[in-house]
């Protein structure tokens, strides 16, 4: 993380350590209720979530206490059981409860102190709560960005990368994507993706792909606007990721870029892409390189965007590069198809004939 991120994270950390206690101080009538619920039998969802919050506050005070951890786990399991029940009013009731939301918030920020199985429970409660409760979504929309940057400081720790990656991905799939998405986030993910530990790098790359493979219309619109507003920086980030030495990761990154360019909602972003001569040069470099066919096949698909949109290209330098290298490009296309595996060769033959025809007409 850069300096500004660290400063924001540290200030958030200081304020969040007492988040549960601050809530009680500002709501004194709840203080007695939280502790009184412990002795009550057959607790309702709100009472169980209140006990979870009380246990969370105690855990933050004495995280090394075995009894405190056991009691926290007990109420975590109860809340998990309630909130994961499908088509049950009690699950919505507990997910809507502010006690649960604040407890979850605290547990996310201090997950590095939790045993692995308890981390899994936090994730399960968060996932189910966001799925069924608009109130929970509204709560985490306010804090998701701060939580995200706070979690990043633990992303590269062996005991945290799996939890951190999963939490980030579930947050990034919510309707408050616009509250989280920025270049700092992408830059942080890319830094983690370069980690020498394969599992950690894979979690970061999977998180990167989740951002750019949004399926819901609202999230796709948010992403489309972000891509258009930051097209130059986004191109650079994809290039940086594509420089990884991991062949499969490199190929997957370029396929993700193609998926973005092929989506009609990103038409304007596509135009920005094909009007950038540096993008064309990078694609042509891959096509003419000694890379294996599988990787060059993806470059061929990306180059097809330049041909299909040739008439809409306003940058004369881009057009000139294609026209000047027409024969070389035809040769590269033929070679790429010859190197393709048998499963994709038929499809590549059709693409080759089509692309060569367009080039000859230019």
HEC profile of the chain: CCHHHHHHHHHHHHHHCCHHHHHHHHCHHHHHHHHHHHHCCCCCHHHHHHHHHHHHHHHHHCCCCHHHHHHHHHHHHHHHHHHCCCCCHHHHHHHHCHHHHHHHHHHHHCHHHCCHHHHHHHHHHHHHHHHHCHHHHHHHHHHHHHHHHHHHCCCCCCCCHHHHHHHHHHHHCCCCHHHHCCHHHHHHHHHHHCCCCHHHHHHHHHHHHHHHCCCCHHHHHHHHHHHHHCHHHHHHHHHHHHCCCCHHHHHHHHHHHHHHHHCHHHHHHHHHHHCCHHHHHHHHHHHCCCCCHHHHHHHHHHHHHHHHCHHHCCCHHHHHHHHHCHHHHHHHHHHHHHHCCHHHHHHHHHHHHHHHHHHHHC
Give the pLDDT of residue 4: 39
Residue 106 has pLDDT above 60, yes or no: yes
Q: What is the mean pLDDT of the chain?
A: 85
Highest mean pLDDT among 24-33, 162-171, 173-182: 162-171
In a domain, residue 354? The reply is no
In a domain, residue 272? The reply is no
In a domain, residue 90? The reply is yes
Residue 33 has pLDDT above 90, yes or no: no
Give the pLDDT of residue 38: 67
> pLDDT higher for 32 or 298?
298
C-beta of residue 277 within 8 angstroms of C-beta of residue 235: no
Residue 30 has pLDDT above 70, yes or no: no
Dist. CA 308–CA 310, nearest whole Å: 6
Residue 344 has pLDDT above 70, yes or no: no
Residue 262 has pLDDT above 90, yes or no: yes
Q: At 144, is the pLDDT very low, low, confident or very high (cuts 50, 70, 90)?
A: very high
Dist. CA 56–CA 73, nearest whole Å: 10
Residue 68 has pLDDT above 70, yes or no: yes
Give the number of C-alpha atoms closer than 13 A to the C-alpha of residue 212, restricted to the C-beta side.
26
Dist. CA 199–CA 268, nearest whole Å: 35
Dist. CA 59–CA 70, nearest whole Å: 10
Residue 204 has pLDDT above 80, yes or no: yes
Dist. CA 257–CA 213, nearest whole Å: 10
In a domain, residue 332? The reply is no
How remote is the C-alpha of 17 from its chain's centroid?
Answer: 25
- How many residues are listed for the chain in this entry? 362
Give the pLDDT of residue 91: 96
Domain enclosing residue 14, as ranges: 1-132
What is the pTM for the complete model shown? 0.81
Query: For 295-306, what is the mean pLDDT?
Result: 88
Residue 334 has pLDDT above 90, yes or no: no
- CA terminus-to-terminus distance, the chain: 47
In a domain, residue 165? The reply is no
Query: For 208-236, what is the mean pLDDT?
Result: 93
Residue 233 has pLDDT above 60, yes or no: yes
Residue 141 has pLDDT above 90, yes or no: yes
Give the pLDDT of residue 340: 59
Q: At 16, is the pLDDT very low, low, confident or very high (cuts 50, 70, 90)?
A: very low
In a domain, residue 115? The reply is yes
Q: 């033959």: which residue's tokens?
A: 349
In a domain, residue 154? The reply is no
Share of the chain above pLDDT 90, in %: 60
Count: domains in the chain: 1
Share of the chain above pLDDT 70, in %: 84
Single out the residue of 25, 19, 26 nearest to residue 147, CA to CA: 19
C-beta of residue 100 within 8 angstroms of C-beta of residue 94: yes
In a domain, residue 260? The reply is no
Residue 312 has pLDDT above 90, yes or no: yes
Q: 């300096």: which residue's tokens?
A: 3
Dist. CA 242–CA 252, nearest whole Å: 9
- Of 251-255, 271-275, 318-322, the poorest mean pLDDT is in 251-255
């Amino acid at each position: 993380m850069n300096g500004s991120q660290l400063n924001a994270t540290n200030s958030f950390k200081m304020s969040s350590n007492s988040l549960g206690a601050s809530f009680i101080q500002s709501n004194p009538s709840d203080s007695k209720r939280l502790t009184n619920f412990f002795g009550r039998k057959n607790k309702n969802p709100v009472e169980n979530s209140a006990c979870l919050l009380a246990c969370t506050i105690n855990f933050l005070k004495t995280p090394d206490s075995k009894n405190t951890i056991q009691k926290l786990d007990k109420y975590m399991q109860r809340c998990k059981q309630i909130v994961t029940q499908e088509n049950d009013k009690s699950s919505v009731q507990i997910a809507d409860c502010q006690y649960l939301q604040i407890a979850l918030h605290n547990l996310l920020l201090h997950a590095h102190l939790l045993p692995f199985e308890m981390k899994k429970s936090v994730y399960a409660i968060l996932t189910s709560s966001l799925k069924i409760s608009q109130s929970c979504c509204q709560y985490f929309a306010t804090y998701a960005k701060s939580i995200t940057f706070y979690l990043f400081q633990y992303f590269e720790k062996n005991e945290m990368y799996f939890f951190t990656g999963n939490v980030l991905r579930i947050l990034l799939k919510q309707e408050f994507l616009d509250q989280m998405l920025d270049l700092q986030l992408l830059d942080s993910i890319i830094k983690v993706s370069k980690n020498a530990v394969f599992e950690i790098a894979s979690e970061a790359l999977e998180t990167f792909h989740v951002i750019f493979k949004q399926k819901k219309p609202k999230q796709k619109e948010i992403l489309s606007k972000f891509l258009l507003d930051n097209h130059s920086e986004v191109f650079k980030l994809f290039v940086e990721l594509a420089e990884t030495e991991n062949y499969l990761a490199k190929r997957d990154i370029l396929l993700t870029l193609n998926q973005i360019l092929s989506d009609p909602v990103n038409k304007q972003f596509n135009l920005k892409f094909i009007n950038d001569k540096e993008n064309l040069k990078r694609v042509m470099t891959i096509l003419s390189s000694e890379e294996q066919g599988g990787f060059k096949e993806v470059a061929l698909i990306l180059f097809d965007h330049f041909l299909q949109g040739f008439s809409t290209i306003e940058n004369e330098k881009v057009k000139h590069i294609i026209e000047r290298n027409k024969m070389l490009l035809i040769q590269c296309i033929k070679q790429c198809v010859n190197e393709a595996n048998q499963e994709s060769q038929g499809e590549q033959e059709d693409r080759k004939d089509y692309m060569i025809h367009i080039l000859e007409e230019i």
